[in-house]
Amino acid sequence: MNIVITGASKGFGRAIAQIFAEKGNTLLLTSRKEADLQKVKEDLTKNPDTCKVLVKAADLSVPEQAKAFGQWVLEQVGAPDILVNNAGLFNPGNILSEAEGSLDEMIHVNLYSAYHLTRTVLPAMMAKKSGHIFNICSIASLAAYDNGGAYSISKFALYGFSKNLRKELMPEGIKVTHVIPGAAYTDSWSGSGIDPKRIMEAEDIAKLIKAASELSVQACVEEIVMRPQLGDL
C-alpha cells in the first residue's frame, strides 16, 4: 500500500508511520524539518526487509506547499491508498487574550493543510474508486474547554471538513474516518509535569487507525473517539 502521513516526524504521525512500516508498503512522509524526517526514515528502514520510505519536507500551512507536496505524492506513487492528515499545532489560549493572529495560524496548520492536500490527491483516488482518508481531529473538536481558544476552533473546523468529506465520498468508494483522540503523551506534553501513565500513548491511536484500515470494502469506521481511562484532563 501507498500511505501518506503528514506531521510524520513525531507524536501521532511517527507512531502511525511505525505501525504501517511493513514489507510491501511505501510510506510517503512529510513534516517541516528535513533533518527530523531523515531520522524517521533511518529508524524505519534499519531492517532492509521492511517498507520503502520516501520523505519530503514541507510547510503544509502554506497552500502552495501543501499542493506541491500532493503533486509530489502523485508523481511518486499515483493515488495513495491511505492518507493520514495529521499535521497540526497546539497553542493554548483564550479567545480574548491569545496573541493576534493565533486563529489564522491554527486554521492554516490544522485545517488548510488537510484541505489543500486532500483536494490535490483526491481526483486520482476518485479515478481509482478506492482509498481511505484519516483526519486527526481532537476531543477539542467535540466540546469547548478552558484554554482551548483558536486551537479548539480550528479542530471543530477540521471535524466539519471531515464529516463533509465523508458524505461527499460515500458513492466514490473512498472511506473517511474522523479520529478524535483525547490526551496522549507526545512532545506537546513534554515538560508539563503530567504523568505519562495518566494519559494515552500515541501508539494507541496508531493501532486503531491500522485496524480501521483493514476492514472489508463494505465497512467504514466513521469516527474513532478515544479518551484516557480516567477521562479527560
Residue 130, pLDDT above cutoff 90: yes
223 pLDDT more than 90: yes
Q: Report, as an integer, the average pLDDT of 98-118.
A: 96
Pairing of strands 26-30, 82-85: unpaired
Measured at the alpha carbon of residue 156, what is the angle toward residues 151 and 159, in degrees to the nearest 5? Answer: 125
Enclosing H/E stretch for 223: strand 223-226
What is the pTM assigned to this prediction? 0.94
At 94 the three-state DSSP class reads coil
Give the pLDDT mean for 53-82: 98
- Whether 192 has a pLDDT exceeding 90, the answer reads no
Q: Which of 112, 115, 145, 151 is catalytic?
A: 151
What mean pLDDT do residues 50-62 have?
96
pLDDT of residue 96: 86
Contact criterion met (CB below 8 Å) for 107 and 62: no
Residue 229: its pLDDT value, please?
94
Taking only the tens place, the pLDDT of each residue in 42-52 is 999 987 788 99
CA distance 130 to 175: 8
Query: pLDDT band at 61, cuts 50/70/90?
Result: very high
Question: Which has more confidence, 114 or 89?
Answer: 114
Mean of pLDDT over the chain: 94
Give the rounded percent of residues in the chain with a pLDDT score beyond 90.
82
List the CATH code of the domain at 2-226: 3.40.50.720
145 in active site: no
